[in-house]
Chains A and B, each alone.
Chain A
Amino acid sequence: MAANHQDNIAESRFDVVVVGGGMIGLSLACAAARVGLDVAVIERVEFEALNSSSFDGRASAIALGSQRMLAAIGVWKYMESSAQPIFDIRVSDRESLLHLHFDHNELDGVAFGYMVENIKIREALLEAASKYSNLFIIAPRTVVAIERSVGNAAVTLDNGRVVKAPLIVACDGRGSPLRAMVGIRAPGWTYPQNAIVCTIEHQFSHDGIAHEKFLSGGPFAVLPLLGKRASLVWTEKTNLAEELYALDDKNFDIEVTKRLGSFLGDAHTIGARYHYPLAMHHAEHYVDHRIALVGDSAHGVHPIAGQGLNMGLRDVAALTEVLINNVRLGLDHGTMEVLQHYERWRRIDNLSMVAVTDVLNRLFVTEGTMIKFSRKVGLAAVNRLPPLKRFFMRHARGTGGSLPRLMDGEVP
């Protein structure tokens, strides 16, 4: 591991202190370091443990905009060989075969995005982080206190050490302890659903096509991985999910095949399976004096559209651009005036994704004639109206709306 990943570095003053060294925290650290800011990342887990597959067996959809940003901040080159391009997205209802079909050729022949296993993303981020001489990872350490003054902020670590910066960024996940410490509330609700995640190996090529089937328990997504493998994100009613999760391999594979159908030929699960409770939350504020929330600490969505990581990466791109624009004018980048630009930029976009994913989930898991009717008409209508379809496709790619420059692959 590179020399700047240690617990005994001499520096104690930075431009930004990132609390949380997950995918979003490390992305923010790399982006901030790339534009020339001095960054420290405080991570509670030892980074060797972060790199083990038992820590996180999931895979993530990397939208095109996110991929461009990861390339711009020096991360993509370390994960490119693990990335499966997504050429098509097919959405179907449980009663009919194929209602909605998004083909990348309808845009300009560029892939929608990529599927990459989280462990590969983490490896790439750690590799890229180690290349920045102005990026320091302090692990395994937790933040026990935060103090904010007129001119600065400081976090105290569990070994008594104090690390200072004009801005502290919370990238410490859904339950964000830092968010609680500064008293920002994040209201939300839980879904009566769990997500089961596993990897399958299958007989026929998936041709880079992602499938999302709306089954009675919730969406069942088949996401192509490199080779003849796919990541399944299987949403199911909580009780049933727990039973399914507990099945032995043979019976679990039978249940998978029932839902998957035969288009990939024979299929069986490989490696471990995981299950996660599903919940949604949205912080009342993203910023406070010398504090910014980024990624899951600010918002968590239903995984129905595979947008959680992409939303967080957009936060990273927007915050990085706001910070460097102000730093280059000599302005104090931890003030509310500066940070509110970040919140204004991201809040509407994130809130609309929170709402859309919630409505989609309710629409597709609910039984009832009207709901079924509007669902069928809705999918068919989207398919027949090219402008509307392109709007959804651009969003799937993450290249719509007012984009931070990093999402276009430019370094601000």
Chain B
Amino acid sequence: MKRSNVTHEIADPSEVNRFAAIAERWWDPSGETSELHHINPARLSYIHDWCCAHFSRDPNIRNPFTGLTVLDVGCGGGLLCEPLTRLGASVIGIDPTPETIHVARAHAAQMELEIDYRIATPNELVSSNNHYNIVLNLEVIEHVSDPFSHTQACAQLLAPGGIMVLSTLNRNFRSFITAIVAAEYILGWLPVGTHRWHRFVKPSELAQHVRDAGLRLANVSGLTLTDGEWEVTTDIGVNYLAIAIKD
């Protein structure tokens, strides 16, 4: 693996130490982000399997995504950017929160991974006229104020023949109970206020956004907790994933 070239951007050593400390907490599987760590292998297997199939890559090799570009929208601390970089992709992670981007850069440096992290939103990237083979749009759409224009911008960033992976939470009584009441208040998995239920997206609404953005919806699958492990299933009642393709 190549040595990261991002460390020089954080010049002040006290800042480097501060962000390194936060990075360890963001990446601490027992910390505030524990559910993201727990759900990550299932999300990754969905991304891996669909992208390997779409680009006709051998799913059993170490770096099936060599030569492919990935844009991770709302990348957070880099929980998806790092694995996709190891799988051979050239990855850009964007997030509007500067602290989050600093954390992601510090962790990538510790892992000696080369990842291009930027403080940006998809809209800000459109004008650059760059296009990506894979656009990841996971657990983002329920946090944005205008899901329609957000999806439009993401679709514009997708190269022809490219694939977009989306995930969000369904808006129904069950998701209200499981994602808000149980996960945030009773079990304490997520900090209270993480989600706003009225912004959750029904699969029919997601399908509409995707089609309006000129993409073809190729798959919708559920993410469910079975015997303590997250799995990709057909139950789209609460957490679900989707594949949209730019033909």
B147 contacts A by Cβ under 8 Å: no
- B71-93 CB contacts (< 8 Å) to partner A: 82-87
Q: Is B111 an interface residue (CB 8 A)?
A: yes
Interface of B is mostly: helix
- A240 to B144 Cα, complex, angstroms: 79
Quick check: B24 and A150 within 8 Å, CB to CB?
yes
The answer to whether A36 touches B45, judged by C-beta atoms less than 8 angstroms apart, is no
Given A150-B110, A151-B111, A337-B37, A329-B44 contact (CB < 8 Å): yes
A293 CA to B112 CA, complexed, in Å: 26
Q: B29 to A335, Cβ gap below 8 A?
A: yes
Cβ of A205 under 8 Å from chain B: no
By the criterion CB–CB under 8 Å, are A330 and B87 in contact? yes
A151 and B110 contact, CB distance less than 8 A:
yes
Q: A328 to B60, Cβ gap below 8 A?
A: yes
- Shortest distance from the beta carbon of B171 to any chain A beta carbon, whole Å: 29
Bound Cα distance from A336 to B61, whole angstroms: 24
B44 contacts which of A152, A331, A337 (Cβ < 8 Å)?
Answer: A331
User: Which of A36, A152, A329, A336 interacts with B83 by CB under 8 Å?
Assistant: A329
Report yes or no: A336 in contact with B48, Cβ–Cβ below 8 A: no
Chain B residue with minimal CB distance to A37? B62
**Assembled-state Cα–Cα distance A332/B44 (Å):** 13
Least Cβ distance of A341 to chain B in Å?
9
Give the residue name and chain of the A residue nearest to B49 (CB). A329
- Docked-complex contact A329 and B48, CB < 8 angstroms: yes
Is A330 touching B60 in the complex (CB atoms < 8 A)? no
**Is the pair A329, B62 in contact by a Cβ cutoff of 8 Å?**
no
Q: Shortest CB–CB separation between residue A327 and chain B, in angstroms?
A: 7
- Bound-state Cα–Cα, A152 to B107, Å: 12
Contact indicator B83/A337 (Cβ below 8 Å): no
Q: How large is the interface on A (under 10, 10 to 19, 20 to 34, 35 or more residues)?
A: 10 to 19
A36 to B64, CA, bound (A): 13
Does B221 count as interface, using CB distance less than 8 angstroms? no
Given contacts A150-B24, A150-B110, A336-B29, contact A331 B41 (CB under 8 A): yes
Residue numbers in A under 8 Å from B110 (CB-CB): 149-151
Q: Which of A151, A327, A328, A331 contacts B112 (CB 8 A)?
A: A151
When the two chains form the complex, which single residue of A36, A152, A327, A332 contacts B82, counting CB atoms closer than 8 Å? A332
Distance of A332 Cα from B111 Cα, bound (Å): 9
Within 8 A of B (CB), among A7-58: 36
Q: How far is the CA of A335 from the CA of B84 in the complex (A)?
A: 17
Q: Chain B, interface size: which category?
A: 20 to 34
- Residues on A with C-beta less than 8 A from B59 are 328
Question: Which residues of A305-340 have CB atoms within 8 Å of chain B's CB atoms?
Answer: 326-332, 335-337
Residues in A neighbouring B112, C-beta threshold 8 A:
151-152
Q: What is the minimal beta-carbon distance from A197 to any residue of chain B, in angstroms? A: 42
B40 within 8 A of A: yes
- A79–B127 Cα distance when bound, in Å, is 65
A332 to B82, CA, bound (A): 9
Find out whether the CB atom of B37 lies under 8 angstroms from the CB atom of A330: no
Q: Contact: B62 with A328, CB < 8 Å?
A: yes
Nearest B residue to A330, CB-CB: B83
What is the bound-complex CA distance between A337 and B37, given in angstroms?
8
| A36 with B111, Cβ < 8 A, contacts A329-B83, A330-B87 known | no
Q: Which residues of B contact A329 (CB under 8 A)?
A: 41, 44-45, 48, 83, 87
**In the complex, chain B residues whose CB is within 8 Å of the CB of A152:** 112
**In whole angstroms, what is the CA distance A329 to B40 when docked?**
10
Q: Which residue of B lies closest to A331 (CB)?
A: B83
Decide: B29 and A327 in contact? CB cutoff 8 A: no
Provide the bound-state CA to CA distance between A270 and B45, in Å: 56
Query: Once bound together, how far apart are the Cα atoms of A329 and B79, in whole Å?
Result: 12
B52 to chain A: closest residue by CB: A328
**Chain A residues closer than 8 Å to B29, beta-carbon distance:** 335-337
Tell me whether B41 and A326 are in contact (CB under 8 A).
yes
Report whether B40 and A331 are in contact in the complex, using a CB–CB cutoff of 8 Å. Answer: yes
Which residue of chain A is the closest to B109 with respect to CB atoms?
A151
Complex CA gap A336/B28 in Å reads: 10
For A329, A332, A337, the residue with the greatest tally of chain B CB atoms inside 10 Å of its CB is A329
Least Cβ distance of A30 to chain B in Å?
18
Decide yes or no: A330 and B82 within 8 Å by CB, A36-B61, A150-B24, A336-B29 being known contacts.
yes
Identity of the chain A residue whose Cβ is nearest the Cβ of B87 in the assembled complex: A330
Q: Chain A residues with Cβ under 8 A from B44's Cβ?
A: 329-331
Q: How far is the CB of B90 from chain A (nearest CB, A)?
A: 13
Q: Which residue of A lies closest to B38 (CB)?
A: A337
A327:B41 contact, CB within 8 angstroms = no
* CB proximity of A209 to chain B, nearest CB, Å: 42
* Segment 140-184 of B: residues with Cβ below 8 Å from A: none
Q: How far does the alpha carbon of A36 sit from the alpha carbon of B48 in the complex, in Å?
A: 18
Give the nearest-CB partner of A344 in chain B. Answer: B228
List residues 1-50 of chain B with CB under 8 A from any CB of chain A. 23-24, 27, 29, 37-38, 40-41, 44-45, 48
User: In the bound complex, what is the Cα–Cα distance between A330 and B111 (angstroms)?
Assistant: 13
CB-defined contacts of A330 to chain B, threshold 8 Å? 44, 48, 82-87
Q: Which residue of B lies closest to A325 (CB)?
A: B41
CB-CB < 8 A to A326: which residues of B? 41
Alpha-carbon distance A403/B41, docked complex (angstroms)? 21
- The smallest beta-carbon distance between A14 and chain B, in angstroms, is 12
- Give B28 Cβ to nearest chain A Cβ, in Å: 10
Question: Could you list 6 A-B pairs, sorted by A, with CB under 8 Å?
Answer: A151-B112, A152-B112, A328-B59, A329-B48, A329-B87, A330-B83
B-binding residues in A (CB < 8 A): 36, 149-152, 326-332, 335-337
Instruction: List 9 additional A-B contacts (Cβ < 8 Å) besides A149-B110, A151-B112, A326-B41.
Output: A328-B60, A329-B48, A330-B82, A330-B83, A331-B41, A331-B44, A331-B86, A332-B111, A336-B29
> Top 3 A-B pairs ranked by shortest CB distance?
A330-B83, A330-B86, A330-B87
